[in-house]
Amino acid sequence: MLDFLSEAIKNFRNTGAVWPSSPVLAKAMTRSLDALDGRRRVLEVGPGTGPFTKAILRKLRAGDHFDLVEINEKFCRNLEREILAKYRPRHPQVGVALHCAPIEEADLGGGYDLIVCGLPFNNFPPKLMRRIFRRMFALLKVGGELVYFEYAGVRVMKSPVVDGAGRARLRRIDTIGKSLRRRHAGKRELVLANFPPAYAYRLVNAGPDGAKRTRRAPARGGATARR
């Protein structure tokens, strides 16, 4: 907890929170893993101190592979020492690899069934947000799911305390999120048992043809579908 608070204060842009995510949010973020059969490939982006990591590890089976990508070197050392180094000897048939790098630069094989992302996109420039999502969808297999979250009402709370450029940035981030959810069959789940309450968003990689069909499909009454 002290490590998390220290890093949150020093590097709020990449941490994006002042309190670790709750077990209830972790359960919501990793629920889809239960429904996947066979050998599964899972990627976690921005694990921080590992609340989602622990939930994922509890669900892994022999033959699964789990990659973690974390940019913060202190978080990486703590994840390795406190969680992963203890897990590997007890589960030698599960592949677990930690990459200390930005997700845009991490050396990953792709073909993931599930990507769980804990990055604080409301703190990022819109161009970086787009670049990260492009990279994650490039790594996600067709039919795979990408799950990310944001705090409920975060842009409403931030708008009064930022300048005009900051409000414009928040609007662009909101627009990007809505576009992603329209294109990728987005679903939203409100998790009240978190501080602050959060929305978990689920996106499906339908592939290029699926994205085209989603954009062209009219909603009832002939209007464009919105989520």
Task: Tell me the per-residue pLDDT of 139-191, one tens digit each, with 9 for 90 and over.
Answer: 999 999 999 999 998 877 777 778 899 899 999 999 999 999 999 999 999 99
For the residues 69-92, what does the mean pLDDT come to? 97
Residue 160 has a pLDDT of 79
* pLDDT given for residue 5 in this prediction: 41
pLDDT of res. 19: 62
The residues near 222 (Cβ < 8 Å, ≥ 6 apart) are none
What ranges do the domains of the chain cover?
2-209
CA 20 to chain centre: 14
Between CA 149 and CA 151 the distance in angstroms is 7
Predicted confidence (pLDDT) per residue in 49-67, tens digit: 999 999 999 999 999 999 9
At residue 45, φ and ψ (nearest 5 deg) are -110, 120
pLDDT of residue 209: 61
The rounded Cα 8 to chain-centroid distance in angstroms is 18
Q: Identify the band that residue 20 occupies on the pLDDT scale cut at 50, 70 and 90.
A: confident
Q: How far is CA 62 from the centre of its chain?
A: 24
**Assigned fold of 2-209:** Rossmann fold (3.40.50)
Predicted confidence (pLDDT) per residue in 97-137, tens digit: 999 999 999 999 999 999 999 999 999 999 999 999 999 99
What pTM, to 2 d.p., does this model score?
0.84
The answer to whether the bond into 47 is cis (omega within 30° of 0) is no
How many other CB atoms are found less than 10 A from the CB of residue 206? Answer: 17
- Between CA 172 and CA 127 the distance in angstroms is 10
Question: What tokens appear for 65 in the block?
Answer: 């592979």
Please determine, for residue 226, whether its predicted confidence score (pLDDT) is greater than 70: no
Q: Is the pLDDT of residue 7 over 50?
A: no
Between CA 76 and CA 129 the distance in angstroms is 22
